[in-house]
Amino acid sequence: MATYSYRCAADGAVDVRLPIGTAPSVIDCPACGAPAQRRYTSPMLGLAHKGAMALLDRAERSRTEPEVVTSLPTKARRPAPKLDPRTARLPRP
């Protein structure tokens, strides 16, 4: 199902949920019955997962305003790998 936007001259914007590809160019307004013309709008991409949207926003922002690095990042210490209990007592190099 997709949400299609229509515009009624008397009542304004009307959203209708229909199966994809079945939206007519004109529908009767649910409030007044007058013809409402279909409007083409951008997809609702802002309703995605917040983490994904933050990543997209950061990538878009860095296209025109790249982040300036003033110092090298600190080297993070990786935790020591967990040893297999069967070989934990063996000597290590």
Q: What value does the mean pLDDT take over residues 2-13?
A: 91
The distance between the two most distant Cα atoms of the chain, rounded to a whole number of Å, is 85
Sequence-ordered strand ranges (E) for 1-93: 2-8, 12-18, 26-28, 35-39
Contact 8, 14 (CB under 8 A): yes
Q: What pLDDT does 78 receive? A: 79
Backbone angles phi, psi at 15, to 5 degrees: -105, 135
| pTM tops 0.75, yes or no | no
pLDDT in tens, 70-88: 888 788 777 777 778 888 7
Q: What pLDDT does 39 receive? A: 93
Structure letter (DSSP) for residue 71: S
User: Alpha carbon 93 to chain centroid distance?
Assistant: 49
pLDDT in tens, 11-67: 899 999 999 889 999 999 988 999 999 998 877 666 778 888 888 888 888 888 777
